[in-house]
């Protein structure tokens, strides 16, 4: 795992023009989880602490998703003939099909030879398992510093992540399963995404969808059931973190990985299943559970 100093350097490069001249936060060592984000000055309630663009974005492909959604611009596509004309089997609009962001992933999918599509009344179905792995493949197409940032992030080990890759590999005839280096890297990238990525709402015209975005700095903030900061997403591509209450200089800036009004039991189950830890804070240990008055984070 990268040191806080190395992680901070990579975060600076990632933020680029969104990096404040005199930021009120820094990445440092945390007693909670090794690394965290800390206030370098007093931060008033309601103040925006930082903004961050997604390092990589892709479709969630979760159950119930509208799969005829462009994987690049996220607009809704026709119910028929919405797949890439180069036969990579990804749903993409005509404008984005020739874009740089799609061309690289398209070449990879074509090289791996997607399985024949199921045809039903002249429409073609998208395999959600191959669609879900797209975000991970886009990580491989990032530049050197961006990939180093992904490698510096925590990746929880979970056997279920390997099953996700196996199911995706079965969508192709020539998926490089015998390339140990590639598969090891892919397994770790999937682990990073499943540990750190957010599902963010995105609106394109009248079409609402959820995208899977990796926001490294936002993800580095540690969890607290009564956090001092809140975050929201601007159209799936920008994370905005704001102080939910006064944060004194030196304090760790925390967010919540759950819904703030969930019960103790619900939060516990969610954190264990998705983040791999059990919260032991005073709120979680309070048997009154939902009777605790929670400060609004809006």
Pairing of strands 207-214, 198-204: antiparallel
Phi-psi region at 96: left, alpha or beta (left = phi > 0; alpha = psi -120 to 50): alpha
Of the candidates 116, 90, 113, 114, the residue with the CA atom closest to the CA atom of residue 103: 90
Contact indicator for 22, 50 with CB cutoff of 8 Å: no
pLDDT in tens, 242-290: 999 999 999 999 988 777 767 778 878 777 776 777 777 777 877 664 4
CA distance 211 to 62: 10
pLDDT tens by residue, 67-124: 899 999 999 999 888 999 898 999 999 999 989 889 999 999 999 999 865 544 444 5
CB 106 within 8 A of CB 113: no
pLDDT, tens only, 149-192: 999 998 887 777 888 899 999 999 999 999 999 999 999 999 99
- The H-or-E segment that residue 25 falls in is strand 25-30
Could you tell me the domains of the chain? 4-54+215-256 (2.170.270.10), 56-212 (no CATH), 264-297 (no CATH)
Contact status, residue 69 vs residue 98, Cβ threshold 8 Å: no
Q: Is there a contact between 257 and 220 (Cβ–Cβ < 8 Å)? A: no
204 CB-contact burial (10 Å; exposed 0-12 / middle 13-18 / buried 19+) = middle
pLDDT digits (tens, 9 = 90+) for 20-62: 999 999 999 988 778 899 999 999 999 999 999 999 999 998 8
∠ CA 127-129-131 to the nearest 5 degrees? 70
Provide the token pair at 200. 């963010």
End-to-end Cα spacing for the chain? 34
């Amino acid at each position: 795992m990268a040191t806080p100093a190395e992680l901070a350097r990579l975060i600076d490069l990632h933020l680029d023009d969104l990096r404040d001249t005199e930021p009120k936060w820094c990445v440092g060592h945390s007693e909670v989880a090794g690394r965290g984000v800390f206030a370098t000055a007093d931060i008033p309630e309601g103040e925006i602490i930082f903004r961050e663009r997604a390092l990589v974005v892709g479709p969630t492909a979760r159950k119930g998703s509208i799969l005829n959604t462009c994987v690049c611009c996220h607009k809704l596509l026709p119910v028929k003939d919405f797949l890439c004309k180069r036969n990579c089997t990804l749903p993409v609009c005509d404008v984005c099909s020739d874009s740089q962001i799609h061309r690289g992933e398209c070449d990879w999918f074509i090289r791996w030879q997607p399985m024949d599509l199921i045809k039903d009344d002249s429409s073609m179905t998208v395999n959600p398992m191959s669609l879900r792995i797209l975000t991970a493949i886009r990580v491989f197409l990032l530049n050197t510093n961006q990939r180093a940032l992904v490698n510096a992030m925590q990746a929880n080990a979970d056997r279920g992540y390997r099953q996700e890759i196996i199911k995706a590999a079965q969508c192709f005839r020539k998926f490089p399963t015998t390339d140990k280096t590639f598969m090891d890297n892919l397994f770790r990238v999937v682990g990073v995404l499943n540990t750190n990525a957010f599902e963010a709402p995105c609106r394109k015209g009248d079409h609402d969808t959820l995208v899977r975005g990796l926001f490294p700095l936002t993800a580095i903030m540690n969890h607290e059931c009564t956090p001092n900061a809140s975050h929201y997403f601007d159209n799936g591509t920008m994370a905005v973190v704001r102080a939910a209450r006064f944060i004194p200089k030196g304090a760790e800036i925390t967010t919540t990985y759950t819904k703030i009004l969930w019960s103790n039991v619900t939060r516990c189950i969610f954190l264990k299943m998705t983040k791999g830890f059990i919260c032991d804070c005073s709120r979680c240990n309070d048997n009154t559970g939902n009777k605790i008055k929670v400060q609004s984070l809006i």
